[in-house]
């Protein structure tokens, strides 16, 4: 099924995106700014912030499938996510098997 380590707040490598990010709060939807192949996530995947660390230095983000199952729960740095924008659209893709 899913890699249990990727579901338990595992901290993952930093992305190189240094874009300015507006304030992100708990329960905000965010998009990944880079691929995270170890977690089977790709740039643009959408997750929900469940915890904000250190004034927004990092976030616990949960990624779920359309039926509500948790795909990953990760600790991500500020440059690894961005808030959703009004010109973003939803996109469905098949999750690659582990």
What CA–CA distance (Å, rounded) separates 74 from 53? 12
What CA–CA distance (Å, rounded) separates 41 from 73? 11
Domains in the chain, please, with CATH?
A: 4-83 (2.30.30)
Helices vs. strands in the chain: H and E counts, helices first? 0, 6
pLDDT tens track, the chain, 98 positions: 334 444 455 556 566 544 444 689 999 999 999 999 999 999 999 999 999 999 999 999 999 999 999 999 999 999 999 999 999 999 999 998 77
pTM for the model stands at 0.78
Position 2 scores a pLDDT of 35
Radius of gyration of the chain (CA): 12
Position 15 scores a pLDDT of 66
């Amino acid at each position: 099924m899913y890699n249990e380590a990727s579901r338990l707040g595992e901290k993952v490598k930093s992305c190189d995106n240094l874009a300015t990010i507006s304030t992100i709060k708990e329960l905000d939807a965010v998009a990944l700014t880079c691929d995270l192949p170890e977690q089977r996530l790709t740039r643009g995947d959408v997750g929900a912030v469940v915890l904000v660390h250190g004034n927004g230095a990092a976030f616990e983000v949960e990624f779920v499938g359309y039926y509500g199952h948790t795909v990953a729960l990760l600790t991500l740095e500020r440059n690894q996510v961005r808030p959703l924008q009004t010109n973003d659209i939803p996109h469905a893709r098949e999750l690659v098997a582990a």
